[in-house]
Chains A and B, each alone.
Chain A
Amino acid sequence: MTARISRWPGIELTAADLHEGKVTQTRFRPDAKYAWSAGEAMSRFLEELQNGRLIARTCRKCARVLFPPRMFCEECFRPTDAWTYIRDTGTIETFSISYLDTDARRIPEPILVGVVSLDGASPKMGMMHYFGGMTKDEIRIGMRVKAVWKPKEERRGSVLDILGFRPLGEGES
């Protein structure tokens, strides 16, 4: 419908009109800051990231390895039982090629983002992350990948301690 309208009724405003105070307006910057407790499971997970390891929790009842770790099993509704390490290799479950940044600006090199199922965790358990070392034409579902870790001294206990996932080499584990 908008394509058929060449001129909208009323007065057109520019960004300058707003900046110069020609428009009646109210400005308020909310003072909303939070410091979330990560909790028992995620605290250990973030600590282990700094060691370059991925940790999960097991549920004895459904025999699953839950990653990221949680203190309760959402299937069985019971406390989980034990900590276990999983591997930093996995398989691409789904991916998308993002041509826009978070401000909706077109970016020259598209970002590859997706979900990886990690080896050692139960099916459909893994993490969303970026992909590198591959082009948008090379990436595919089912591709084997491995985490690229930040240097140890730069890790801060964040999912960004992993830079992204790169293709797993032949014979590499």
Chain B
Amino acid sequence: MRVGIIGIGMTAFRPATPEYNWKELMFEAASRAYADAGVDPRSDVDSFLTCAEDYYEGFGIFDEFVPDQLGAALRPTCTVSGDGLQGLANAFMQIETGLVDVAVVEAHSKASDIVTLEGVIEHALDPVWNKPLGAHPFVIAGLEADAYLRATKTPRKALAAVVQKNRRNALKNPLAAYAAKLEMDEVLSSEERFAPLRSLDIANPADGCVVLVLGSETAATKLHANPVWIRGVGWASDSPSLETRDWAGGEYARLAAAMAYRLAKIRRPSTEIDLAEVDDRFSFKELLHLEAIGLAKKGEAGKRALRGDYGADGSLPVNVSGGSLGCGNVFEATGLHRAAEVALQLRGDAGIHQVDGVQVGVAQSWRFVPSATGAVAVLGVGR
């Protein structure tokens, strides 16, 4: 049975949203998604999934706070404590069981509610083994960036090309929080943070919410939807141990992609995929992820980035939305946002950042520092 995305709803991504609480943010994205799908959540939706991590929310059992603003009161709901693409994979499977025809996936960020963001992220480190060192958690991204640049002989300048491209792409995305036209020199000389990473290599936090409505093929037909098919999903985790994980190759992403490609029957991703949205919350991650999911040969992503291959008019448009560098780091909503962006592109509804003639796209997510967990979704239209 085929499963499709039949409704897309997003709020704008903003550095802070003091005018809304998280419920009101969710209500806005949900209202947009249901209107897009033409569904009434009170009668047409069989299951609701939300992706949230209590530590980001600041209170326990976030699940309990979900139903009202999603139209899910007295309906089946559950929470995936993970990235939005992991939620998408779970909703996909619920529909594949035949138990559910229409499912809703929600993910959001209210990062502006977190006063001590570094402290909250630091709390994810192993309490006995790594945490006593007291280092800033983003040092882990610095370690990985260093290992990646060395192993692949990627020039440092390639990271700046990623930053420049994604911030510039965001200028054409009205939802993006951090659109900017930056000069290469500005990026290369921005403040040193976690070498080799500088301040502009790191995505800034943002608030926002994404809601997708998924339906079985039967439901999609009944609702006269214009579905974007979920051709494959995959997810994987490397070791949580910082000492044993693969530093330079993004093994979690490679395995997640292998699973998704197997389901989607994609044998040569570099020729079969027209467009990609990959996690770029640290600039080098975009390049590392492109190589891990088979869209660039090992060590070539940086060179291709410098050649402009990943621009909106390049041979493989990557993060045309602006990515996380341009839209903001929306934490657990990151993967779902990117799936939404791919779906809009495939539907031809991406507005002024629309890329022509795209049929198959991939969204890839990572669960942020200090994780080595990621997910991949392959989306397509037609055929």
Contacts and interface: CB of A to CB of B under 8 A. Distances in A.
A71 B21 CA distance: 11
Nearest to B70: A77
A144 to B, nearest CB: 29
Chain B's interface size range is 35 or more
Interface string A7-42: 000000000000000000010101111111111111
A137 interface: no
Contact of B42 (A38, A41, A70, A76): A76
A83 interface: no
Nearest to A71: B24
A72 interface: yes
Given A34-B58, A37-B19, A75 B115 contact: no
B53 interface: no
B41 interface: yes
B69 interface: yes
Contact of B128 (A26, A32, A39, A74): A26
B262 interface: no
Contacts, number: 83
B68 A72 contact: yes
Contacts of B68: 70, 72, 74
A41 B17 CA distance: 14
Contact of B123 (A32, A34, A41, A76): A32
Q: Which of A35, A70, A76, A77 has the most CB of B within 10 A?
A: A77
Contacts of A32: 55, 58, 116, 119-120, 123
A163 B40 CA distance: 41
A40 B24 contact: yes
B113 interface: yes
B119 A30 contact: yes
A74 B73 contact: yes
Interface string B112-141: 111110111011000110011000000000
B34 to A, nearest CB: 8
Interface in A72-96: 72, 74-77
B115 A74 contact: no
A34 B110 CA distance: 10
B67 interface: yes
Given A71-B27, A77-B42, A31 B116 contact: yes
Contacts of A42: 21
B67 to A, nearest CB: 7
Contacts of A70: 23, 68
B71 A34 contact: no
Interface of A: 26, 28, 30-42, 70-72, 74-77
21 contacts: A26-B127, A26-B132, A30-B123, A31-B118, A32-B120, A32-B123, A33-B114, A33-B119, A34-B114, A35-B113, A35-B115, A36-B110, A37-B112, A37-B113, A38-B21, A39-B24, A40-B21, A71-B24, A72-B69, A74-B67, A77-B71
Given A31-B119, A37-B112, A40-B24, 16 more contacts: A31-B116, A31-B122, A32-B116, A32-B120, A33-B116, A34-B114, A35-B115, A36-B22, A36-B110, A37-B20, A37-B110, A39-B20, A39-B24, A40-B19, A40-B20, A74-B69
